[in-house]
Structure 1
Amino acid sequence: MLKIFSHYLPTHTLHQVLFDAALLFIVVLGAVAFQAAPGALDWAAWVPAALVFAASMIGLNAAMGLYRPVYQRCRRQAFARVALSLVVSVPVAYVTFGLMPWPEIAPHPMQVSILVLLCSLLMLRVVVNQRQAAGFFVPRVLIVGTGRDALAVYRDLTRPLQRSVDVVGFLPVGGQERVEVEPRQVLPPGSLLDVAGKLRVDEVIVAVRERRGGVLSLRELLDCKLGGIRILDLSTFFERSLGQIRLDSLRASWLIYGDGFRQGWARTFIKRVFDLVVGSLLLILALPVMIITAILILLEDGAPVFYGQERVGLGGKPFRVIKFRSMRRDAERDGKPRWASSNDDRVTRVGRVIRKLRIDELPQLFNVLVGDMSLVGPRPERPYFVDQLTQQIPFYAVRHCVKPGVTGWAQVRYQYGASVDDSAEKLQYDLYYVKNHTLILDTLVLFETVRVVLTGEGAH
């Protein structure tokens, strides 16, 4: 894993992106050389243009989640990703053709050939991602512990379509930890440094919660680290691997003394400028869709078109969020808030469509412009549910240290849910965002939101 701008990027994903960009660059130059007349090529113009084209096309598809593995081998999901890649890439490619000097040096048939090559590469990448991913380097991993946490780490490392790793075994530690892993993979007790050296370990994951009182020698961990072996605790492992901060391995001291969770004025200013510029552009682009949606709501169920609801925002302060009304006017006639379910009978026919396509969220762009919300951040909840969740879920209030968002890291990483358990699961992604949020991560979330909406992943 590489950490770029506070966000973890799988090494094998970077390998795939670089390989595809290089391959597209080479095949574009090959197609040009094959079709052009001898002596008619201006390589000084073609090479930079082909490089920019390859980098922009592969970078765009990477940002939209093409290189994220599909953990269930679902043909529908694979087809949706192929279709989305083609629908987005072809128009952008034509725009790129217009911005570069290609019209002068490449006739239209050659541009069509380049598009065919691009589409073939994207379809091939999706097919390859349906199979087991593998990097150029397979790290050897030793898991310290034999209990429930060690089993959770092992399952994540060896899940289908995960990067290939070699788990050399589980090293038991002192104490009465229950063995929940495969007994045949449990190594004989011994010095951590000796075992790691003997098995040529590259990484040690400490999957035990108690590290004091002789249960685990800090001196041995330090010796391993000084010997060039990476050492990860549970919190760091799940943050790196799943893009979440696990509540069951989180401690207040880690929030206080750990890296991240920086809320400086510079970051706030940059994020606000980003929200104003991108939010205004999105509002202009979405205006025709919003007008049509308003007309359809009026025709089916009458006024009002918009629905205002109190939500909890930055610092725990309430504000009124604006949405298109997707439920009947008497949805909460008893005055008692209820979780929205996936097949809620209170949702109108128009409401079901606009919720599936996330169109009901578009009026929140006005909340972004006035400063109540950001484009990207934890989704705001109603005060009634916030009171409940704060009492039942530890560290829930941490998500209120940044502005709530129209979309968020949890929304592109976790399917739709409406329960306390779902809120706890999504909080783990929200905490990751609060800890690591940057302009780069915000841009990535916006691109992945497009993918989620257009492919229907996580729709409700």
Structure 2
Amino acid sequence: MSVEPDLTSIQPKWRLRPSERRSTLFVVDLIIAIGSLVFALYFWASGGEFLSFSLEFLRYRVPFWFYLLPVIWLLMLVESYNPSRVNIRSEAYREVTIAAIAGFAFYLIIFFLSEPNSLPRRGVAAFFASAYVLTMLWRFIYIKLFTLPLFMRRVLIVGAGKAGSHLAQIIREMWPPPFYLVGLVDDDPDKIGIEIAGYPVLGSGEDIFRLIRDHQVTDLVIAISGEMNPNLFATLLEAEEQGIEVTTMPTLYEELLGRVPIFLLQSDWILRSFVDQAHMGGFFELAKRLLDIVGGLIGTALMLGLFPFIALAIYLESGRPIFYTQTRLGKNGRPYKIIKFRTMIQDAEKDGIPRTTAENDQRTTKVGRFLRRSHLDELPQFINVLRGEMSLVGPRSERPEIVQEYQKALPFYRARLFVKPGITGWAQVNFGYAEDVRSNAIKLEYDLYYIKHRSLTLDLLILIRTIGTVIGLKGR
């Protein structure tokens, strides 16, 4: 099958993928942060008249930490790059506003704890005010710009079966949509002409090039289970040669949601794309262990500092013990004893039946509820990190009974044991608490995404988002 040479002319370069849009969002945020720093320095140096800015001022008056304000600002914005929130106007404005309020609040705390006239109030106020206004304006422009049809990629799903239908439903539920879904194609003649999740099945595989021309399609998403028709395979190769972006449903699913579609994968997926990822290079393992040791020492020091107060609160409400230990499964299924501050009543499982903790669990004490919301109950786990039983970042560890139960119901569940469990993780910062099979399936998708894509960069991102969760008291 041949394709006209001018097929690439319908592929405008400004139609960016969701990940490319988020990168654009971050780059402009970075420019705004640096520009706000320059503005704040001028404003501070000149008393608002922009006359006294000089190298001497920068050298002798500006403390080193002032130059870190752009980094601090971008760290506080990290939640706004979440794929599920980045295109939602109310969520975008909310995250930027929270970042500005948190920045001012943090500065006020430092200001009142410092000596008089030791901090540059004008400069800090100018930075946060400028960064807030410009970032809000950029969010407005970003959402307006990338939801215009001119800037949206136009996608055709190849396959209208279970995988294609599920992807179409996901796109239908995302608002604003990450791209314009033209429709689907399928070789089953009974499906041609029907609608799936509100999108039409426009034809068969033989119609792909016509549909690309007629609908200015920029992307083909392959959502086919089992063997592919050789003619269809040749068509897809030729389309890619002509500049059409060709991707698979699981890959797009990961890009849109940050999860792995466990119910739509073939049984050998774990061998083809997962096991190879499980054996990371020695540098990564060494660097991650060093990060764990440093974080473990800091966390243990924090625990020792807070221990008298937490222990007294637990003892006054419900007596002893102060700590709670439980057998969990670690890397490669090795059991270990996890250590936490006790947050439940004594004999919470006196009937001997293991239960996962439910949201607003009635067995939780008043002190325990605060410890859970602030995540202070998890401080003793830094001891597990120093022992090498856990990592700072990884899937949440579970009891052997829970693992045995869920691996029967959820495909690939035991694959979570390929890596060390963590105090925090990709699933925890994206989804939160799970108490049934369905919610645990979603958390498993996040866990497998982390294991497949784990890196020091992803670990640092998770740690930063965890700090925001702790500050906001968003624990269960």
| Alpha-carbon offset, residue 260 of structure 1 | 3.2
Q: Answer with 157-166 or 202-211: which moved more.
A: 157-166
C-alpha separation in 1, matches of 2:417 and 2:196: 38
1:305 aligns with 2:319: no
* Change in CA separation of 1:329 and 1:129 when aligned onto 2, cut-off 3 Å: farther
Match runs of 1:54-69 below 5 Å: 55-63=70-78, 65-68=79-82
Alignment deviations for residues 320-347 of structure 1 (CA, whole Å, 9 cap, x no partner): 0001111111111122211221132211
1:207 aligns with 2:223: yes
Q: Which residue of 2 aligns with 1:395?
A: 412
Alignment deviations for residues 55-79 of structure 1 (CA, whole Å, 9 cap, x no partner): 414431243x133354897989975
| Alpha-carbon offset, residue 141 of structure 1 | 1.1
Q: Which residue of 1 aligns with 2:164?
A: 150
Alignment deviations for residues 379-408 of structure 1 (CA, whole Å, 9 cap, x no partner): 000001111112222111111010000111
Q: Which residue of 2 aligns with 1:100?
A: none
Q: Answer with 349-358 or 19-28: which moved more.
A: 19-28
C-alpha separation in 2, matches of 1:42 and 1:422: 57
| Alpha-carbon offset, residue 202 of structure 1 | 1.5
Aligned partner (choices 327, 331, 336) of residue 319 of structure 1: 336
* Change in CA separation of 1:331 and 1:184 when aligned onto 2, cut-off 3 Å: closer
* Change in CA separation of 1:388 and 1:416 when aligned onto 2, cut-off 3 Å: same
Identical-residue share of aligned pairs (%): 29
| Alpha-carbon offset, residue 247 of structure 1 | 0.8
C-alpha separation in 1, matches of 2:294 and 2:271: 33
* Change in CA separation of 1:444 and 1:229 when aligned onto 2, cut-off 3 Å: same
Q: Which residue of 2 aligns with 1:138?
A: 152
Q: Which residue of 2 aligns with 1:12?
A: 21
C-alpha separation in 1, matches of 2:207 and 2:108: 57
Aligned partner (choices 20, 30, 52) of residue 21 of structure 1: 30
C-alpha separation in 1, matches of 2:91 and 2:322: 34
User: Is the partner of 2:345 in helix, strand or coil?
Assistant: coil
Q: Which residue of 1 aligns with 2:258?
A: 243
User: Is the partner of 1:448 in helix, strand or coil?
Assistant: helix
Contact preservation (8 Å) 2:89, 2:140: no
C-alpha separation in 2, matches of 1:185 and 1:362: 52
Q: What residue identity is the alignment partner of 2:158?
A: V
Aligned partner (choices 34, 39, 42) of residue 54 of structure 2: 42
Contact preservation (8 Å) 1:296, 1:350: yes
Matched residue count: 442
User: Is the partner of 1:217 in helix, strand or coil?
Assistant: helix
1:384 aligns with 2:382: no
C-alpha separation in 2, matches of 1:132 and 1:16: 11
* Change in CA separation of 1:283 and 1:207 when aligned onto 2, cut-off 3 Å: same
| Alpha-carbon offset, residue 317 of structure 1 | 0.8
User: Is the partner of 1:168 in helix, strand or coil?
Assistant: strand
Q: Answer with 11-20 or 35-44: which moved more.
A: 35-44
Q: Answer with 119-128 or 71-80: which moved more.
A: 71-80
Aligned partner (choices 184, 199, 203) of residue 170 of structure 1: 184
TM-score norm. by structure 1 comes to 0.83
C-alpha separation in 1, matches of 2:307 and 2:143: 37
User: Is the partner of 1:346 in helix, strand or coil?
Assistant: coil
Alignment deviations for residues 216-244 of structure 1 (CA, whole Å, 9 cap, x no partner): 71111111122222212121111111111
* Change in CA separation of 1:180 and 1:326 when aligned onto 2, cut-off 3 Å: farther
* Change in CA separation of 1:44 and 1:315 when aligned onto 2, cut-off 3 Å: farther
Q: What residue identity is the alignment partner of 1:207?
A: A
1:279 aligns with 2:296: yes
User: Is the partner of 1:187 in helix, strand or coil?
Assistant: strand
TM-score norm. by structure 2 comes to 0.81
Match runs of 1:413-432 below 5 Å: 413-432=430-449
1:358 aligns with 2:370: no
C-alpha separation in 2, matches of 1:307 and 1:53: 40
1:192 aligns with 2:205: no
C-alpha separation in 2, matches of 1:17 and 1:218: 37
Q: Which residue of 1 aligns with 2:196?
A: 181
Q: What residue identity is the alignment partner of 2:336?
A: F
Q: What residue identity is the alignment partner of 1:240?
A: E
Contact preservation (8 Å) 1:301, 1:328: yes
Q: Which residue of 2 aligns with 1:98?
A: none
C-alpha separation in 1, matches of 2:216 and 2:146: 23
Match runs of 1:248-263 below 5 Å: 248-258=263-273, 260-263=277-280
C-alpha separation in 2, matches of 1:125 and 1:288: 42
Alignment deviations for residues 97-139 of structure 1 (CA, whole Å, 9 cap, x no partner): xxxxxx99x9653443223323444666788899896489421
Contact preservation (8 Å) 1:130, 1:161: no
| Alpha-carbon offset, residue 212 of structure 1 | 2.9
Q: Which residue of 2 aligns with 1:99?
A: none
Q: Which residue of 1 aligns with 2:97?
A: 82
> Cα RMSD (Å) of the superposition?
3.7
Contact preservation (8 Å) 1:133, 1:162: no
